[in-house]
Amino acid sequence: MIQITETEDRQTCYALRQEVFVQEQGYTAEGEVDDLDAISHHLLAVEDDEPVATARVYIDGTTAKIGRVCVITSRRGIGLGADIINAAVALAAQKRAKHVVLGAQVHAIGFYEKLGFTPFDPPYDDEGQPHQMMKQAL
């Protein structure tokens, strides 16, 4: 069974992000950890004591920004991505956010639309990968 909880263990979250974003997807390691990490809420999904997914939620007034969402390769396709996004949205609501935003990789727009997000603003580039801002009212 997979458990998703808020964690203070940012190093484990960073290690998952390093594996998925840097090693697998080719993003730079320098940009992976940033100033928002220290002031964000971090979610960690664990299965049988193994970290398998993470996300962060940064609260800015009444807006929560979900970011750094990743699931290890072996656990994709089982609904875990949706579960961690739903946990992030629930955390944002618990922190009294009124809106949730995120920057989706363009290939994942349909995934986020199924979870209630809608695109806004033009697509933008993040290290050579096209992204789309998406939002959801709480």
What residues have CB less than 8 Å from 1, skipping those under 6 apart?
47
Give residue limits of the domains in the chain: 2-97
What residues have CB less than 8 Å from 24, skipping those under 6 apart?
73
pLDDT for 82-101, tens place per residue?
999 999 999 999 999 999 99
Distance (Å, whole) CA 14 – CA 29: 10
Specify the fold of 2-97. Aminopeptidase (3.40.630)
Entry pTM: 0.95
Q: Strand 50-60 and strand 63-71: pairing?
A: antiparallel
pLDDT for 106-121, tens place per residue?
999 999 999 999 999 9
